[in-house]
Amino acid sequence: MTANGKAGAAAHTTTLDPVRLLDTQRAFDSVAADYDGPRGNNALIQRMRTTLWDTVATQLPAGSRLVDLGCGTGLDAHAFAQRGYRVLATDWSPQMVERTRARAQDPSLHGRLSVAHVGIQQLDLLDGEFDGMYSNFGPLNCAPDLPQVASQCARLLRRDGRLVFSVIGRLCPWELGHYLLRGRLRRAAVRAARGATAVGMNGHTIWTWYYFPREFYRAFAPHFDLESYRALSLCLPPPYLVDHYQRHPRLGEALGRLDDRIGGWPLLRDMGDHFLIVLRKR
């Protein structure tokens, strides 16, 4: 599906708040040491991770130059470098950057993975021309000025380059049901917020913006065509409810297959814990 949609009301743009940026940085610094464990890489996360890997592989051949926006501990960047891609991994968290730099020392990568301490709001610090950019598990939800990010992505990408982003969505049926059944109405409605939302992690705050897919795309529409998008974890529970998945493995596998089948259907693709969106630079 290709859509050359015109930009409507722009996605959020706001003055950068250094206090909030540091809040988010400290939150991810605080979990970097154990982020490869269940908090950041359980079975449901890995399933979503693999979907992004496979999508990038269908869009760009091995050998392409990629930028990882919000690389975390570098699991995605390392995997792409192993597959023959040349990757520049970036993150706002110094501790996450150090974890990725350690991974980049793997001799089997033959120098294909480089790392930069650059936040998603600092892409103007990068130079060069790239074939694609990807971002997994919502770093773009932490971008305080999404149109500016879109403009910088366009500057860094070659013509016909690709963006493949996994973004936290607004409407997650599992989350709504989980919290409504427990009478936690305010928590059930957290993704409906129109501005930055304070999301707690490890005693810190991550400032987060939530999107529907086309709401997100509006920030990129001046520079990019919308190639496709699909729901992730629509039928499956979100990763923080992985215990439900592990208690019923056969049901979980069936729900995973259903996710794969219907996650790209109209209307349903606007739901799910995340959505996976593919954009092409004009």
Domain range summary for the chain, segments of one domain joined by +? 18-281
Residues above pLDDT 90, as percent of the chain: 88
Q: How many C-beta atoms surround the C-beta of residue 194 within 10 A?
A: 9
pTM of the model: 0.92
Alpha-carbon gap, residue 164 to 241, rounded angstroms: 25
Token pair in block for residue 1: 């599906």
Is the confidence at residue 4, as pLDDT, over 90? Answer: no
Alpha-carbon gap, residue 129 to 127, rounded angstroms: 7
Bin 138: left if φ > 0, else alpha if -120 < ψ < 50, else beta: left
Token pair in block for residue 58: 């269908």
pLDDT for res 277: 99
Average pLDDT of the chain is: 93
pLDDT for res 9: 37
CATH domain 18-281 topology: Rossmann fold (3.40.50)
Write out pLDDT tens, residues 171-214.
999 999 999 999 999 999 999 998 999 999 999 999 999 999 99
Number of alpha helices (DSSP H) and beta strands (DSSP E) in the chain? 11, 9
pLDDT for res 12: 56
Region 30-43: mean pLDDT is 85
pLDDT for res 15: 61
Name the more confident of 244 and 131. 131
Write out pLDDT tens, residues 250-272.
999 999 999 999 999 999 999 99
Q: Work out whether strand 197-201 and strand 86-90 pair parallel, antiparallel, or are unpaired.
A: unpaired
Residues 78-88: b if buried by 16+ CB within 10 A, e if exposed: bbbbbeebbbb
pLDDT for res 11: 53
pLDDT for res 8: 36
pLDDT for res 63: 98
Region 137-160: mean pLDDT is 98
Token pair in block for residue 273: 């814990």
Write out pLDDT tens, residues 76-119.
999 999 999 999 999 999 999 999 999 999 999 999 999 999 99
